[in-house]
Amino acid sequence: MPVAGRKVAVVGMGGAFPTCTGVADFGEKLFAGKSMIRSWDKALAYGKQIRSTVAGFITEEEMDLEAVYNVASAEYPETYIDKKGRIPDINLATADMGSIWAMIGAKESIEMAGWTEAETRSEGTGVVIGSGGAGHVILRNAWHGFFQEGRKSRAAGSHTVDRAMVYRDAANVSCYIKNRGVCESIGSACATGLGNIGYAYRLIKFGLQDRAICGGVEGTSLETFIGFDGMQVLSKGFAPEESSRPFDLQRNGFVCSFGGGIVALEEYEMAKARGAHIYGVIDEYFNNSDGDGDMFAPSFAGQHRLWAGLAEGARIKPDVVKVHGTSTPIGDIIELLCVTDVLGEEGYHVSAPKSQFGHMLGAAGSVEFIAALLMLENQKVSPCLNSSTLNTEPEAFQLKEGWTGPVKPVSEYRHLLPQETIEKEINQIVCLNYGFGGTNSAIAVSRDV
Residues forming the active site: 190, 324, 359
Give the residue among 349, 351, 357 at the shortest CA–CA distance from 374: 351
70 HSE (CA, 13 A, CB side):
20
Rounded distance between C-alpha atoms, residue 444 and residue 399, angstroms: 32
Q: Is 233 helix (H, G, I), strand (E, B) or coil?
A: coil
d(CA 339, CA 41): 38
Complete DSSP assignment for 27-55: HHHHHTT----EE-HHHHTTGGG-S--EE
3 state DSSP class of 35: coil
Handedness of CA 383, 386, 387, 388 (dihedral sign): positive
Give the SS3 label for residue 96. Answer: coil
Task: Report the C-alpha gap between 320 and 377 in whole angstroms.
Answer: 13
Q: Are 281 and 446 in contact (CB under 8 A)?
A: yes
Give every CB contact of residue 380 below 8 A, 6+ residues apart in sequence: 31, 421, 422, 423, 424, 426
Long-range contacts made by residues 139-145, C-beta under 8 angstroms, separation at least 24?
139/164, 140/223, 141/70, 141/73, 141/75, 141/76, 142/76, 144/73, 145/72, 145/73, 145/76
Q: How far is residue 83's CA from residue 87's CA, in Å, rounded to a whole number? A: 9
Q: Is the dihedral of CA 359, 317, 449, 380 positive or negative?
A: positive
Element (H, E) at 284: strand 280-289
Nearest to 141, CA basis, from 69, 230, 80, 92: 69
Query: Distance (Å, rounded) from C-alpha 363 to C-alpha 311?
Result: 25
DSSP assignment string, 203-225: HHHTTS-SEEEEEEEE---HHHH
Distances, alpha carbon 113 to alpha carbons 26, 176, 208, 275, 324, in Å: 19, 17, 20, 10, 27
Report the distance separating Cα 53 and Cα 48, nearest Å.
10
Q: Which among 383, 381, 405, 417 is positioned nearest to 249, based on CA atoms?
A: 417
Instruction: List residues bridging with 230 in a β-sheet.
Output: none
